[in-house]
Structure 1
Amino acid sequence: MQNLPKDGMSRINQILPFLPIGKSTVWKWVREGKFPEPVKLSSTMTAWRNSDIHAWIEAQGK
């Protein structure tokens, strides 16, 4: 499995392999403030900062 780059941005299908949750849970947790907020790149494209995803994953190992 490839690693998620530390820099840049990724769309949901690119980050899902690194998460212990599914797509619907990601969106639910975003709404509940339990997962990093995505960035709206256009009216049809949303992505997450890879650094935010790495920080979230590391925080889960507390």
Structure 2
Amino acid sequence: MTKKIEVDWGLCESNGVCMGINPEVFHLGDDDMLTVLQEEVTPEIESDVREAVRQCPRQAISIKE
């Protein structure tokens, strides 16, 4: 089963913590809006995504399995 990154946009404040963990997955644009560049959680990025889930100050990021 494919795992995907899920963001609760109602909670996300675009703090950029996730981008600091992996800027190839999470991007904070000039408009201060977060973009998920890779929604599928592959084995190569899973540990970074799990770290972003743990460190998100608003708990807006999750992994949907």
TM-score (norm 1): 0.29
Q: Looking at CA atoms only, which structure, 1 or 2, has the larger radius of gyration?
A: 1
More helix by share: 1
TM-score (norm 2): 0.28
More strand by share: 2
Does 1 or 2 have the higher relative contact order (CA < 8 Å, sep 6+)? 2
